[in-house]
């Protein structure tokens, strides 16, 4: 089972409800909301108000990716606004364990995020307390960056760790995902794919963007048995 999470960071905000509905009609599974504070990452984006706006537009799961300092101070606001999944970074976060527990205690699913330069071992201790691991394949801050292919081997290591210690958890990947690399990312062990540019900036429109990602995944599923035979 694969999930597509459409990141509204590349959506046209003058028409947000229409853009989200188009993504929903195109069959995306989740809506990904990138929250940036200008400190943890160089960019500033959106807060609970936009999550609440998205909640009124769609009933799809809202997947909130917090790229902020002291995320523990804002969990309640994001869950109140309608977040179903809340993911926090392992980097620079001394209260990570407590914050993951807080997310779950408020009834949301908890995710832990690693930057491209962070090794998989960094999250081992918190794996029993999460529902999702988000592996960044760009340095967080902006959409439209190039996928860092060196992260593929880390996705495989994390898949292995998850299978051993928390097999129900999802492995999500975020950054530069497109129809050319999505099959390799799935092969490496991911089951949830975040995409902003490939969906909202597709030259033929949102529906075509989502469809081309799905088609690339389906092709991978058809090819997999052969790959296994060859392997």
Dihedral of the alpha carbons of 60, 42, 120, 216, in degrees to the nearest 10: 50
Which residue is nearest to Zn ion, using beta carbons? 65
Residue whose CB is less far from ligand DX5, 134 or 162? 134
Name which of residues 192 to 211 contact ligand DX5 (CB under 6 A): 194-198
Residues 132-151 that bind ligand DX5 (CB under 6 A): 138, 140-141, 143-145
Considering only residues 157-216, where is the footprint of Zn ion by CB under 5 A?
A: 174
Phi, psi of 135 (to 5 degrees): -100, 115
Q: Quick one: 65 or 109, whose CB is closer to Zn ion?
A: 65
Structure letter (DSSP) for residue 151: G
- Show the CA angle centred on residue 59, arms to residues 100 and 210, nearest 5°: 95
* Closer CB to ligand DX5, 196 or 206, in the complex: 196
Under rule CB under 6 A, residue 175 binds ligand DX5 = yes
Crossing angle for the helix pair 206-230 and 16-25, nearest 10 degrees?
40
Closest C-alpha among 171, 144, 151 to residue 160: 171
Is 163 a catalytic site residue?
no
d(CA 221, CA 229): 14
Active site residue 29: no
Spatial separation of the C-alpha atoms in residues 178 and 32, rounded to whole Å = 16
177 binds, among Zn ion, ligand DX5, none (CB under 5 to 8 A by kind): ligand DX5
68 binds, among Zn ion, ligand DX5, none (CB under 5 to 8 A by kind): none
Asked if 63 interacts with Zn ion (CB under 5 A), we say no
**Cα-Cα end-to-end distance for the chain:** 22
Q: Does 32 bind ligand DX5 (CB under 6 A)?
A: yes
State the Cα–Cα distance between residues 3 and 182, nearest whole angstrom.
12
SS3 64: strand
Smallest distance, ligand DX5 to C-beta of residue 97, A: 23
Q: Which of 29, 34, 63, 131 is catalytic?
A: 34
45 binds ligand DX5 (CB under 6 A): no
Q: Which pair of structure tokens corresponds to residue 82?
A: 């309608």
Nearer to ligand DX5, 166 or 197 (CB): 197
* Residue in this structure with the two tokens 């990452």, named with its chain if needed: 41
In the bound state with Zn ion, the residue whose beta carbon lies nearer, of 61 and 224, is: 61
Residue for token pair 């691991």: 133
Q: How far, CA to CA in Å, does 127 sit from each of 100, 121, 147, 161, 192?
A: 10, 10, 25, 8, 17
Interaction between residue 131 and Zn ion (CB under 5 A): no
Task: Tell me the site size for ligand DX5, rule CB under 6 A.
Answer: 21
Q: Which residues bind ligand DX5 (CB under 6 A)?
A: 7, 9-10, 32, 34, 65, 138, 140-141, 143-145, 174-177, 194-198
Kindly list the catalytic residues. Answer: 34, 174
Residues that bind Zn ion (CB under 5 A): 34, 65, 174
């Amino acid at each position: 089972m694969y999930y597509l999470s459409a990141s509204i960071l590349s959506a046209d905000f003058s028409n947000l409800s229409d853009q989200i509905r188009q993504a929903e009609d195109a069959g995306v599974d989740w809506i990904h909301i990138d929250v940036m504070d200008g400190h943890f990452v160089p960019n500033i984006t959106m807060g609970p108000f936009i999550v609440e706006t998205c909640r009124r537009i769609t009933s799809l799961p809202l997947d909130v990716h917090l790229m902020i300092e002291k995320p523990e101070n804002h969990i309640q606001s994001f869950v109140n606004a309608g977040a179903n999944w809340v993911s926090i970074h392992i980097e620079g976060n001394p209260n990570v364990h407590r914050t993951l527990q807080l997310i779950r205690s408020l009834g949301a699913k908890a995710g832990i995020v690693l930057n491209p330069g962070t090794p998989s071992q960094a999250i081992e201790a918190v794996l029993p307390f999460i529902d999702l691991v988000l592996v960044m394949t760009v340095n967080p801050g902006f959409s439209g960056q190039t996928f860092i292919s060196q992260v593929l081997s880390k996705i495989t290591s994390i898949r292995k760790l998850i299978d051993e210690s928390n097999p129900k958890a999802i492995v999500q990947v975020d950054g530069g995902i497109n129809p050319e690399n999505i099959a390799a990312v799935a092969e490496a062990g991911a089951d949830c794919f975040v995409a902003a540019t490939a969906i909202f900036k597709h030259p033929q429109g949102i529906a075509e963007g989502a469809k081309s990602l799905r088609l690339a995944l389906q092709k991978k599923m058809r090819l997999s048995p052969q790959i296994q035979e060859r392997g």
